[in-house]
Amino acid sequence: MKFKIKIIGLILTAAIAQSCEKYLDINENPNAAERVDPDLLFSFATTSYINLRSSGDLYIPLALAGQSISSGGNNPTGWGLVSEQQYDISPFSLGNAWSTYYVRGGNNLKQAIQIAENSEPVNSNAAAQSKVLLALIAYETATLYGDVPFTEAWNLDISYPKFDEQKTVLEGVIALCDNALGQFDEVSPLKISGAYDMFYGGDIARWKRLAKSIKFRTLMTMVDADPDKASQIAQIINEGGMVDSPEDNFLVPYETASGKRNPKYAINLQYNGGVNFFFGSSYVVDFMEAIDDPRLPKFFTKPEAADRYVGLVPGANGNNDEHVRISTELHAADAPEVVYNYQEQLFYEAEVYARGLGVAVDLIRANELFKSAIEESCVFYGVTRADAEAFVDRLPTYSNAADLIYQIHYHHWIDKMDRGIDAFTQWRRSGPEGEEVPNLTLPVLAPQGGLFRRYEYAPNELNNNPNAPSQIIRYFEKTWFDL
Amino acid sequence: MLGILLMGSAYAQERRISGRVTSAEDGAPIAGVSVIAVGTNIATQTDELGLFSISIPVSVNELEFRFIGYISKTVTIGSNTNINVALDLDASELQEVVVTAMGIERSARSLGYSVSEIGGDELTKARETNVVNSLAGKVAGVRVTSQSGTPGGSSKIVIRGVSSISSSGQPIFVIDGLPVDNGAPQISTVSSSVPQGSAGADFGNRAGDINPDDIESVTVLKGAAATALYGARAKDGAIIITTKKGSQGRGTVTINSSARFDNMLKVPEFQNEYAQGIQGVYNIANTNGWGPKISEVQDRTFPNFLGEQVTLQAYPNNYRDFYETGGTYINNIAFQGADDRGDYRLSYTNTEQSGIVPGSKFSRNNIGINAGRKIFDGLDVRGTVNYNRSTSDGRPVQSSNNPNVLQSLVLTLPRTVDIGLVRDNYVDPITGEQITLTPSRNGNNPYWIVNNNNFGNIVDRVYGNGIVTYKPLEWLTISNNFGTDFYYEKRLGTTRNGTIGDLTGSFFQGNIQNRVINNDFIITAETRLNDDLGLKVIAGHNIYENYYERILSNAEQLTIPGLYNFSNAASVLTTNTSNKRRLVGVYGDIGLSYRDFLFLNITGRNDWSSTLPISNRSYFYPSVSSSFVFSELLETSSWFNYGKLRLSWASVGSGTEPYSLAFVYNPQSAGFAQYGYGSQFPFNGALAFSAPGTIPNANLKPQNQTTYEVGADLAFFNNRVNLDVTYYYSNTIDQIVSLSIPQSTGFSFRSVNAGSVINKGFEAMLGIVPVRVNDFNWKVDFNFSSNRQSVELPDEIASYTVQSGWSGLQVKAETGKPFQIYGVGWERDPNGNIVIDEATGLRRTIADQPLGNVFPDWMLGINNSFSYKGLNLGFLVDIRQGGVLYSNTASTLRTSGLGYETLQNRGDRFIDRGVVLRDGEYVPNDVPVQSMQDFWGQMSTSNTEGNIFDASYVKLREIVLSYQLPSKWLQSGPNFIRGASIGVEGRNLWIIKDNVPHIDPEVNFFGPTSLGEGVEFNSVPSTRTIGFNLRVQL
């Protein structure tokens, strides 16, 4: 019997001892990597960022609330009523935009920067490319939400980042661009290149021009609230080296293959039988119709029954036989998402000379740049070069600065008509309250209180960050740059 | 010659006696009763039907019937050849044995915690294809909700409240000592913007694979003290299933057949007066009910969806007629037998089910073998093998953001649409294109969906174990139980080219495999230390491993319609994942008994978990329980028969999910975009990785649950009144949660130990036998339970989202409160009046409002059973009080103007009740709404409060009527039939009272893997079932 008990004891002891062995050391994740190249994080940040800009969390709300497109009101194949055109913005859109800027986009770029700068040898270009994209993200976050976390954001040691003033963030955007410009190394083979740089394929010279342009655009956004920025504008204009041809257009193409299509196209296909949900805004169409703009058929699809291009007042009910819808060409499956382009650069430069921002007012130069911008816009949207030239030749040359500035702003806004957030920001910076271009009024059925001017903060951030503003800031309240 | 004479003599002196043994309490047959010929060593046992047959010498004139928990009875045979016996419960409960954790059998009186046991008969009286559903209303403290009416759909079971804010808290299922998988893995087949674990079809939970016909008994272990020996895996309770074994006596064959028919339990109430359109004007483009009044436009014709000019008429049954009568056929045959050296049982069950949704089918085949053998005295072996294969087609897609979502298409059929016309015209015979209900082709014809697109799965599963038991000494038992459970599941979802929303067609195939390996090595020593004091010591060692793997391929843009081959797709995206966890545990149990009325049990278990940091991976948890049968110390009383007090305390730890500790970069399959159309990788030739959304925590420690429980078991009036009452308190602290953090940190969550969930509750089970006269018995059982959940969060966390929904709906935890639905609510003035917008006359809304508890205040099941001779009638009423439900069906029917309630005030001036803010003061509203279409439009999906209802209900859950054919009838017929019964059964027969319009309040759209409850979102309607049962024993 004693022998049996010993045997049992031995078995039990062996079994217990086994439990402490390597049998349990299996907690290494076979589905993920502990180290990655910055390229892989950069591609994800890029894709998340452009998907946000072209989809239902940013494009649709801001194009509708910004009135550069029309919802169609109660038209059964319109976007619906009440919608974002009446400033009914889903808290999920507020949250998804925020999380793309900070988590999917911003954090992966921060990680990419850290990996690039800590690798041996240092991958300066990868860090700089990531910084420029991060600057773009920070610019959008601040212009959209106002005061936002920046100096304490993306820091594992800080649980509750403070909210920086919008001005501080925009200064930070400029600093990021300067930092990147100091890091770019055109000779180095180390960079994010090929397919992983969906914008420029690793062409560092173009990245440097873009970085300067982003800095320039940021200054142009700040200059009305901070006139001291005019001198920096003059400096950068005089230095040059910014985006200087359509080759530099900063965009990402979508693909025709299912699952890789532009969300603008996919949403119409998925939910509306391929019919475009959105109508042309009367603010856009009527302006273009009046000048017989050759971009009209590129931007819009005219009903067969209609003999001219008729826009729809934002929020009003669309008529299928009367009002134009956004064209299938503009919302094609492989239509690119444009973040910055050459004509935009020209519009800003025209504005600099028309307003004399740090430089002497030069209306001749401004008119030239203005017409070049429109011509480049026409060509960009598919008008032939000859037709584009003929069109701009027909346009008047403005001798009155105010008229020219108005036209620059309006055409700048028209050019960005289908770039929701960019049109929205351009409109807000086009003049002080009540003098913006165009002179928008409340959309049909929109609540009283004022025009749409910002995203309200994401509920997640408000709930979880004690440093978030305690007072609710409503969508009609202006941010710092928006006078 | 002598031999022949002796044999002849023996033959002449024997006779065969047969009969049936039932419980005097409720008339139910008792299996396993020992039938002994008094004065001899001849004996047999009753079978599942309580039947016995025994050959005895003519000299024997008495039979003794013995069964644990019942008073033995001796019957004089006389000249009878058929003897029916009703046994009375033994009020002293001296011998009743209950299967507890690790399969340990204990006398009921020794247990210091509440245990509920359900006999296998209870589960097969009115058969459910999913065994989880059979538990509804039968056990106090156990709450069951079905995700949908999908055949083979899933059901969620919650025992004594949800104790976690990060996992759904499903109990462990243990079959013959083997913990088996009860997963309901969700694979994302549509947008990630849809709530995780919710989108798409309901593919069922794996406990649904278990064959109810093989179940001998189910023990529900509710508290931590009861489950302590299972450790972390049973922190949410344990369902202990013991399967049937062959019983001694002549081998038998049992055939059990059921045929059942299903229809919709609750049909939405539609208006039938208005056609489709806008603000009273007909428009074929709107699938709604806001058009003209049908009776007022009889002088005109309008285009229908086929373009024909027709006079409008209502088709009141077009919704109901879309659905069909479902059918279920369950056939089981079991062979079993045993002798004194071994036993066997072989069982085969076929289940064929067709759902109420056209084309939905479910089929399951179970085969099980359970055999044991005594190798030599002291050494026993037993093996079980169960194989099942289930297949299904036509599982309806629920939720939103998928073109195949069916319910919303059927619900929004305008009242003027003839469903027969839709059925016969869903495809153009010439072009093969879909015929849609609107000219703008912005919605699918429901018959296109059910006839072309198919979501189904196939599951092959094997589980079983081998048990060796060695008893070297009278007081010592050594046993080892090794088992495995593995399944392979293939899911296929197809969408044909031409489907609106997916014109180029697509399909996905998901391959899932899961494997559980478990080994328990147990040594048991039992002895009496002296005449008064007994000791039982158990020491055990456990190894547990779970491996899960999933490969999912999504194929899009199909070249040839209807061909679901990856080579036929322009784009195929494949993702895979796997995880493995291991657990090693040692445990011990010391039981002391004093004079069989005072008992003390102390258990301890130490686990080592692979998922926790090495420094924290070892954790120990103890339990103590005691029972005191105080009635043993009292004088015998005519009215008070039995009294026991029980008390227990336990502390249970648990680990976390695999791979939660390290900071890793995850490969990405797609970039997110709202409405489900992000970009798949490789995108523009690039792959992608992302930093984690959750900051991992390398220092996680086990979360810990402390529970205590006090209770009493009482019996009165000769055992005709039984009362079990229990109060429990559990506090699960150091919850391992992904805490929501400001996303400006770059992360959405941080993995921490934080917060606690307290559940305290009261359970009472009252059994009364109001009438027991001769052969007639009436018994009533009440199962009452009330659980109060309360969450404690760290000060800096205002609330914690346990389940995200859409359009602002969330299920959230908040300090001092149970889980609540949050969402967009009506703005109210300080007096609680709804604030109306002066400009529109419509209600003003405010986001993120608490809108009610998702869990009930209390549940009550009332089961009546009557028996008279072989006739048994039982019905179960199930009551839920409290909690709220969000109904998307109500939202759809109201906003679309199709619900009956939208008839109110149409065309009239209507001023909503509420206040308007005027000159800084709230004054009664005097602003009319512009139209009732606008008024009901407020109840859209994005308005949560407008669609919140009280989820209370009273339901007639089950009716069973069965008749056991008298033995003498059978003896006069074919003599190979030993017993037979016929029955009529009904499930979910009648919602006696509820407060939710249009739908069954019991539907829970969030499945078993989700913490969410209280939401219905395009769910397949639940069903009422009526069926017939025939059971024959050969």
Q: Which residues of B touch A420 (CB under 8 A)?
A: none
User: How far is the alpha carbon of B744 from chain A, nearest alpha carbon, in Å?
Assistant: 5
Sorting pLDDT into bands at 50, 70 and 90, what band is B807? low
For B444, which residue in chain A has the nearest alpha carbon?
A: A273
- The confidence score (pLDDT) of residue A273 equals 76
- Count of CB atoms situated within 10 Å of the CB of B522: 22
pTM: 0.84
A228–chain B Cβ distance below 8 A for any pair: no
- The confidence score (pLDDT) of residue B194 equals 32
B296 vs B969: CA distance, rounded Å: 67
For A91, which residue in chain B has the nearest alpha carbon?
A: B808
Name the residue facing B744 among A33, A263, A461 (closest C-beta): A461
pLDDT > 80? residue B124 = no
pLDDT > 90? residue B96 = no
Residue to substitute from B679, B809, B842, interface A, most A β-carbons within 10 A: B679
More confident: B525 or B438: B525
pLDDT > 50? residue B1027 = yes
- Count of CB atoms situated within 10 Å of the CB of B217: 18
Q: What is the pLDDT of residues B77-89, one digit of tens each?
A: 888 888 888 887 7
Query: If residue B970 lies in a helix (H) or strand (E), which one and from where to where?
Result: helix B967-972
List the domain boundaries for chain A. Answer: 38-253+336-450
User: How far is the alpha carbon of B673 from chain A, nearest alpha carbon, in Å?
Assistant: 6
Name the residue facing B808 among A91, A148, A466 (closest C-beta): A91
Q: What is the pLDDT of residues B830-885, one digit of tens each?
A: 999 999 988 889 998 887 899 999 999 999 999 998 988 878 898 999 999 999 99
What stretches of A291-384 show up as alpha helix (H) in DSSP? Answer: 296-299, 342-355, 363-380
- The confidence score (pLDDT) of residue B197 equals 32
- Count of CB atoms situated within 10 Å of the CB of B323: 21
- CA-nearest of B148, B146, B676 to B398 is B148
Query: What is the percentage of chain A residues whose pLDDT exceeds 70?
Result: 96
Mean pLDDT on A33-49: 97
- Identify the CATH number of the domain defined by range B2-87: 2.60.40.1120
Name the residue facing B570 among A41, A258, A460 (closest C-beta): A258
Residue to substitute from B677, B699, B812, B929, interface A, most A β-carbons within 10 A: B677
Q: Show the tokens assigned to B358.
A: 């056209």
pLDDT > 90? residue A417 = yes
A465–chain B Cβ distance below 8 A for any pair: yes
- The confidence score (pLDDT) of residue B6 equals 35
Mean pLDDT on A202-213: 98
Q: Which residues of B touch A153 (CB under 8 A)?
A: 744-746
- The confidence score (pLDDT) of residue B231 equals 78
Mean pLDDT on B169-179: 88
Q: Do A96 and B586 touch (CB under 8 A)?
A: no
Q: Do A77 and B582 touch (CB under 8 A)?
A: no
pLDDT > 60? residue A11 = no
With tokens 């599941």, the residue in question is B489
User: How far is the alpha carbon of B454 from chain A, nearest alpha carbon, in Å?
Assistant: 18
- The confidence score (pLDDT) of residue B184 equals 80
Q: Which residues of A touch B839 (CB under 8 A)?
A: 447-448
Q: Do B584 and A24 touch (CB under 8 A)?
A: yes
B750 vs B723: CA distance, rounded Å: 47
B773 vs B776: CA distance, rounded Å: 5
Sorting pLDDT into bands at 50, 70 and 90, what band is B824? confident
Question: At residue B134, what is the residue type?
Answer: S
Query: What is the percentage of chain B residues whose pLDDT exceeds 70?
Result: 95
Q: Are B2-87 and B115-264+327-404+453-661+696-819+854-883+951-1033 equal in CATH topology?
A: no
pLDDT > 60? residue B359 = yes
- The confidence score (pLDDT) of residue B442 equals 73
Q: What is the pLDDT of residues B39-62, one digit of tens each?
A: 887 878 887 778 888 888 888 888
- Count of CB atoms situated within 10 Å of the CB of A473: 17
List the domain boundaries for chain B. Answer: 2-87, 115-264+327-404+453-661+696-819+854-883+951-1033
Interface of B with A in 121-140 (CB under 8 A): none
DSSP state of B998: S
Q: Which residues of B touch A51 (CB under 8 A)?
A: 671-673, 678-679
Tell the burial category of A49 from Cβ atoms under 10 Å away from its Cβ (0-12, 13-18, 19+): buried
> Using N-to-C axis directions, what is the helix angle for A229-239 and A204-222, rounded to 10°?
150
Q: What is the pLDDT of residues A312-329, one digit of tens each?
A: 999 999 999 999 999 999
Mean pLDDT on B208-216: 89
**Bridge partners (DSSP) listed for residue B261:** B327, B1026
Mean pLDDT on B468-485: 95
B599 vs B604: CA distance, rounded Å: 17
What residues contact residue B1020 under an 8 Å CB cut-off, 6+ apart?
Answer: B148, B149, B150, B153, B202, B355, B356, B357, B396, B398, B406, B407
Lowest mean pLDDT among A179-188, A356-365, B268-277, B839-848: B839-848
Q: Do B689 and A106 touch (CB under 8 A)?
A: no
User: How far is the alpha carbon of A257 from chain B, nearest alpha carbon, in Å?
Assistant: 7
Q: What is the pLDDT of residues B505-545, one digit of tens each?
A: 889 999 999 999 999 999 999 999 998 999 999 999 999 99
- The confidence score (pLDDT) of residue B107 equals 80
- CA-nearest of A99, A270, A48 to B681 is A48
pLDDT > 70? residue A52 = yes
**What is the overall mean pLDDT for chain B?**
87
Q: Which residues of B touch A272 (CB under 8 A)?
A: 440, 442
Residue to substitute from B408, B744, B800, B807, interface A, most A β-carbons within 10 A: B744
Q: What is the pLDDT of residues B8-20, one digit of tens each?
A: 333 446 788 888 8
Quote the ipTM score.
Answer: 0.94
Q: Which CATH number fits domain B115-264+327-404+453-661+696-819+854-883+951-1033: 2.40.170.20, 3.30.420.40, 2.30.40.10, 2.60.40.790?
A: 2.40.170.20
What residues contact residue B57 under an 8 Å CB cut-off, 6+ apart?
Answer: B13, B14, B15, B37, B40, B42
With tokens 């929904």, the residue in question is B805
Q: Please check whether residue B144 is in contact with residue B970, taking contact to mean a CB–CB distance below 8 angstroms.
A: no
- Identify the CATH number of the domain defined by range A38-253+336-450: 1.25.40.390
Q: Please check whether residue B143 is in contact with residue B209, taking contact to mean a CB–CB distance below 8 angstroms.
A: no
User: How far is the alpha carbon of A394 from chain B, nearest alpha carbon, in Å?
Assistant: 40
A201–chain B Cβ distance below 8 A for any pair: no
Query: What is the percentage of chain B residues whose pLDDT exceeds 90?
Result: 50
- CA-nearest of B938, B941, B910, B939 to B926 is B910
Interface of A with B in 309-348 (CB under 8 A): none
B70 vs B116: CA distance, rounded Å: 18
pLDDT > 80? residue B946 = yes
More confident: A449 or B996: B996
Q: How many contacts does A have with B, using Cβ atoms within 8 A?
A: 287
